[in-house]
Amino acid sequence: MQKLHPKAIWIFFFRFLLGGLFFFLFLSFWLAAALTNLLIESGKGIAYLWWLLLIFISLIAFFAIFSWIWAKLTYRFWKYELTEDAFKKESGVIWKKYVSIPYERIQNVDIHRGLIARILGLSDLKIQTAGASAVVYGRRMAGIGAEGCLPGLGIGVAEKLRTELIKRAKGTKQGL
């Protein structure tokens, strides 16, 4: 099985960091406001606020280190391959996910380059099928996602892989 580009670690890192940052900031502001009011009302003074700031900075550093470790693990366990009859992908650190997409089900293969991916010189390959995956948040459908997604491929590798997948998909539909 083939691995993603080594720079894909950075894509995973920034996704985890930005994804958790909003929750972390909300929780931090809420706790800081509550503790500041408590300290001022109790007469403990401003000295304890410096301790709160130190704890806040330590938590941010811990979260960044944890995000980096999780990104490296995610990269390590993300693999893909083209077999005779299907595209296969496996991913997941704790819970493994195995995806197998037969070539005859492939409808479209897209290359997406987000801001971070462009800076790193990488691409995301998205494989869409006739039975596309629905992206669901809560109880409502938020859109249609790609059934097969490979983040962090080199630009040349993504182009070659897209060409090969389209060729194999066409070949199976024409009975070749």
Q: List, for residues 12-24, the tens digit of each pLDDT value.
A: 999 999 888 777 7
In the structure, what pLDDT confidence band is assigned to residue 145 with cuts at 50, 70 and 90? Answer: low
Which class for 132: exposed (0-12), middle (13-18), buried (19 or more C-beta within 10 A)? middle
pLDDT of residue 25: 77
Signed CA dihedral, 85, 81, 149, 133: sign only: positive
User: Stretch 83-102: mean pLDDT, rounded?
Assistant: 93
Count the neighbouring beta carbons within 10 Å of the beta carbon of residue 108.
15
Does 121 fall in a domain?
yes
Are 70 and 97 found together in one domain? no
Structure tokens at 26: 């909300």
Q: How many domains does the chain have?
A: 2
Domain that residue 27 falls in: 2-75
Are 52 and 120 found together in one domain? no
Residue 174, pLDDT above cutoff 70: no
Are 13 and 69 found together in one domain? yes
Angle, CA of 114, 146 and 174, to the nearest 5°: 120
Query: Which of 156, 30, 174, 5 lies closest to 80, judged by CA?
Result: 5
Does 83 fall in a domain?
no
Does 14 fall in a domain?
yes
Of 44, 75, 106, the residue that ends a domain is 75
In tens, the pLDDT along 115-135 reads 999 999 999 999 998 765 555
Share of the chain above pLDDT 90, in %: 52
pLDDT of residue 92: 92
Are 26 and 69 found together in one domain? yes
Residue 45, pLDDT above cutoff 80: no
pLDDT of residue 31: 74
Are 64 and 97 found together in one domain? no
In the structure, what pLDDT confidence band is assigned to residue 57 with cuts at 50, 70 and 90? Answer: confident
